[in-house]
Amino acid sequence: MDNEKITDKYKSELLQLLSSLEKMLKGISGTPANNLVKQVYSIVHKINQTAVETGLNYLSNLFAPIEKKISAAIEQKQTLEQPELTIIISAAATGQELTNDSGLNRPGMKTAYENIKKTILSAFSAETTNEQSSFSNSRFEEIFKDEAIDLINQLEEKLLQLEGTPDDPALIDNVFRIMHTLKGNSNMFGHKYLGEITHHLENVYDGIRSHKFDVTRQILEITLQCIDHFRNLIDDPELSDTSNKVIQESILSDITEISESDNNQSAPEAKIGKIAGGVQSFYIFFKPNSDIFKDGTNPLYYVYDLNDLGDCLILPVLAEALQLEKIEPEKCYMSWHILLVTKETKETIGDNFMFLNENSQPDISIVSKTDVLKDKQFIDKFMLLSTKPVSIASDLAAQAIAEAKTEEKNSVKSKTTAADASVASIRVASAKVDLMMNLISELVTKQAELSMLANNQNNAQLLEVAESIESISRDLRDNAFSISLIPLEKTVLRFQRLVRDVAAKFNKKVNFIVEGKETELDKTIIEKIVDPIMHILRNSIDHGIETPDQRLALGKPEIGEIKLKAYPSGAHVVIEITDDGSGINVEKVRKTAVKKGYIGASDELSTDHMLKLILSPGFSTADNVSEVSGRGVGMDVVHQKIKEIRGELEIYTQENKGTTLIIRLPLTISIIDSLLVLIGSTYYLIPLAVVQRCAEVKTQVITESPVRYLNLDGEYIPFVDLHKEFDIKEERADYQRLIMLKHKNMLIALVVDHIIGNHQAVLKALGQAYRKQEVVSGASILGNGEVALVLDTNKLLQEYMSEREVELERLYKQSIKV
């Protein structure tokens, strides 16, 4: 030990402290009072502090855990027990012996030191070792899970991309990096099984990076299986579910098979471990970079830590030709020649210096496979090293450092722009967003009440306040909407994976194209639309896309195509799913419908109506039931689910050309801007997004029109007289109001009694009584407490127009007869 470096002052101070501690502890009988524990702490703290300041690592190794333990006891208002006091007494005694005499170099001292160190660590460091596992039970676990799921999704996305471009090194690096992060995070949270698989997978991908393996289908299959398993492991980290345990073992065995397919390269772990048999002697030359102090590193710690690995002989050497007046206190002029006799490997010794920069790394070499410390002749020669000059860094190393710096500067420059453009984001639990939306809905309702009150009171000041609050609540609502809107791309990955897996199952080749994945939808709608889309995609592959042979025979490209296209359209979002498969055989649909009694044999239905039959419960034209479709349960559920979120489904098909399913969804389902109207004495709301313009006509224009068309500014427009359709008994006013809407590229007017004005409608679900109709999609409470019904104008006009077609046809036939 380098005891010479300790000044007499520190030495005597430490000895005094250690002796006082020993005496104090020996004087305690039973359990010490809290104030006595504090006194003990004070002395231990001073010992530790002095040991650190003077670089006496062996002392701080003993007293740092003791200090922590006592500090924790004081913090938790606990005391120390006798066994703990005995250990501290032994530490104080050993500490005195180490400081008083020639430290660890004295015979038997090293063993005594190692023993007390082990005892202290096992008795006092339990908290530190348990610390890691305690995190896994904490609230941080939930955050870890969210982040892990994000990483798993990213991994899945990259793997699917890798399948298309298996030689892309950047993509391989990306996959490796995500796996590594996942491994790191999961191990830190005690998810050992997740960590275990990612670790083995990482080895495989490391093999790919180093060109040991190619990206094969087998590797991708196993990795994707792992991803599915990871999702299970997030919820079942301890493999409580037997099936997960079986999968874990099976996957591990598969990965091992791959990684062992080339035995030339062993896993990194295989290199780590103790040398079988006896000890080896290593020579270590440690010359830290002269700037080592600048990053706060004390090189002495690294030298002292070697004592933990075995027996050492350490020769400190000062730099040659050192002149006192030229010494810079910030620079390190020391180097060390070290002989280490140990059972550890070279790698383990190297790990001791892992925290050091490259240019401070020591040279480690094996001197002998025996204990050279016992060889006096060798030791004598070794001691001469202290008189030899110390080498300096080579020009080549300096040049390499300079090149690395230049590269770094370029890298920083190119990345700055992207970094500046980034927008910080935070993770918020979806339940909190739901709560915020509910509160805003309440606010909007109350704001309407306030506006009404202000109007009734005719108080200018109150009106001004009400208007301001209305404006603020509108902005708040819009902002909250934008928060709850999420892009479709969040779910696209699941679709991609599904297409890949189902296509592989049926030996079909499918190119899945997604357009408009940035299209945003309310998160509630996205959650509900995923399953219907998955079902449609499964059907497309199973029933639509032909096998490669069939496609080639039909003159089609071998690889089929499914396109998912999303885009906003007014107050709606449209999702189109198109395949270039065989299309729906309408005649087959008709025959099945007749056979199953949905229609009569003589019924003549349009293609549109015929296609709608496939949305009937239990309807299937499939000849065979497959694992994924053909059971007749599906499209009716798909249709039902789309209707539940006020969406619509349209089907278009062409035999041998393909099928397109169009899903039209509302942008949001909670609050809408609407036009408040009065029909009779009932309030109705019409979504503002569909309104083109408003007008006014004399009531008799409406009541006296035989064909329900009116001439407005020279344009003939069909109208729907809601007063009449809703069978309102109250008298009409002299004038009726027209609300012009666009429906299938045609302008149609809704006739109402009065237009009240714009209204922010908080939508509420309707009761059971309204379930069987589709014209009214919801209700909203007005400021005066009355209920307004929300009209689904699409349904209303569809219903009306089909009746109108029948009527026009009847009129046409009558006119022919005439």
Partner 1 sequence: MARKKRILLFEEFESIRNILVKTLEKKDAETIIVSSFNDAKKQLNGTGFSMAIIDFDNKNHQSLELIKYMRETSSYIFTPIILLITGNKEQFTDRLSGYNIACYLTKPFDMALFNSVTDRFK
Binding site for partner 1 (CB under 8 A): 64, 125, 128-129, 131-132, 135, 140, 143-144, 147, 176-177, 180-181, 183-189, 195, 291, 293-298, 301, 330, 354-355, 357-359, 400-401, 404-405, 407-408, 411-412, 415-416, 418-420, 422, 424, 427
For 297-383, strand residue ranges (E) read 310-318, 334-342, 363-368
Report the Cα 778 to chain-centroid distance in Å. 35
Minimum separation from the CB atom of position 231 to partner 1 (A): 17
Which residue lies nearer to partner 1 by CB, 289 or 539?
A: 289
Which residue lies nearer to partner 1 by CB, 9 or 405?
A: 405
Report the Cα 168 to chain-centroid distance in Å. 24
Which residue lies nearer to partner 1 by CB, 64 or 215?
A: 64
Minimum separation from the CB atom of position 302 to partner 1 (A): 10
Q: What is the DSSP string of 521-555?
A: EEHHHHHHHHHHHHHHHHHIIIIISPPHHHHHHTT
H or E stretch at 268 = helix 268-271
CA distances in angstroms from 773 to 147, 229, 636, 638, 656, listed in the order given? 44, 44, 18, 19, 37
Query: How many angstroms separate the CA atoms of 748 and 718, rounded?
Result: 5
Which residue lies nearer to partner 1 by CB, 432 or 657?
A: 432
Reference 798, options 727, 734, 748, 759; nearest CA is: 748
Q: Which residues pair with 800 in a beta bridge?
A: none
Minimum separation from the CB atom of position 352 to partner 1 (A): 12
Minimum separation from the CB atom of position 35 to partner 1 (A): 18
- Are 454 and 466 in contact by the 8 Å Cβ rule? The answer is yes
Which residue lies nearer to partner 1 by CB, 135 or 378?
A: 135
Minimum separation from the CB atom of position 473 to partner 1 (A): 30
Which residue lies nearer to partner 1 by CB, 365 or 411?
A: 411
Minimum separation from the CB atom of position 436 to partner 1 (A): 20
Minimum separation from the CB atom of position 128 to partner 1 (A): 5
Which residue lies nearer to partner 1 by CB, 167 or 420?
A: 420
Minimum separation from the CB atom of position 71 to partner 1 (A): 9
Which residue lies nearer to partner 1 by CB, 141 or 163?
A: 141
H or E stretch at 800 = helix 793-817
Reference 520, options 472, 575, 466; nearest CA is: 575
Helix ranges restricted to H, 620-694: 635-644
Reference 196, options 240, 231, 226, 232; nearest CA is: 226
Report the 3 state secondary structure along 692-748.
Answer: EEEEEEEHHHHHCCCCCEEEECCEEEEEEEHHHHCCCCCCCCCEEEEEEEEECCEEE
With a CB cutoff of 8 Å and minimum separation 6, the contacts of 365 are 282, 283
Type of residue at 167:
D
Reference 791, options 726, 712, 719; nearest CA is: 726
Tokens standing for residue 77: 């208002």
With a CB cutoff of 8 Å and minimum separation 6, the contacts of 18 are 47, 92, 93, 95, 96, 99
Minimum separation from the CB atom of position 409 to partner 1 (A): 9
Which residue lies nearer to partner 1 by CB, 349 or 437?
A: 349
Reference 521, options 411, 385, 383, 667; nearest CA is: 667
Minimum separation from the CB atom of position 148 to partner 1 (A): 8
Which residue lies nearer to partner 1 by CB, 359 or 705?
A: 359
Minimum separation from the CB atom of position 408 to partner 1 (A): 6
Neighbour count for residue 802 (Cβ, 10 Å): 10
Helix ranges restricted to H, 359-457: 376-383, 395-420, 430-457
Tokens standing for residue 378: 């060798």
Which residue lies nearer to partner 1 by CB, 71 or 243?
A: 71
Query: How many angstroms separate the CA atoms of 630 and 618, rounded?
Result: 10
Which residue lies nearer to partner 1 by CB, 417 or 815?
A: 417
Return the SS3 of 662.
Answer: strand
Return the SS3 of 237.
Answer: coil
Minimum separation from the CB atom of position 301 to partner 1 (A): 6
Minimum separation from the CB atom of position 580 to partner 1 (A): 39
Which residue lies nearer to partner 1 by CB, 412 or 554?
A: 412
Query: How many angstroms separate the CA atoms of 100 and 369, rounded?
Result: 34
Which residue lies nearer to partner 1 by CB, 113 or 189?
A: 189
The dihedrals phi and psi of 404, each to the nearest 5 degrees, come to: -60, -40
Minimum separation from the CB atom of position 147 to partner 1 (A): 5
Which residue lies nearer to partner 1 by CB, 176 or 684?
A: 176
Which residue lies nearer to partner 1 by CB, 402 or 465?
A: 402
Which residue lies nearer to partner 1 by CB, 128 or 784?
A: 128
Q: How many residues are present in the chain? A: 818
Tokens standing for residue 611: 């296609």
* DSSP conformation class of 624: S
Minimum separation from the CB atom of position 431 to partner 1 (A): 17
- Are 97 and 109 in contact by the 8 Å Cβ rule? The answer is yes
For 241-354, strand residue ranges (E) read 280-286, 310-318, 334-342
Neighbour count for residue 462 (Cβ, 10 Å): 16
Minimum separation from the CB atom of position 131 to partner 1 (A): 5
- Are 305 and 286 in contact by the 8 Å Cβ rule? The answer is no
- Are 785 and 801 in contact by the 8 Å Cβ rule? The answer is no
Strand 709-712 vs strand 334-342: parallel, antiparallel, or unpaired?
unpaired
Minimum separation from the CB atom of position 177 to partner 1 (A): 6
Which residue lies nearer to partner 1 by CB, 68 or 742?
A: 68
Q: What is the dihedral of CA 611, 617, 620, 626, to 10 degrees?
A: 130
Minimum separation from the CB atom of position 237 to partner 1 (A): 14
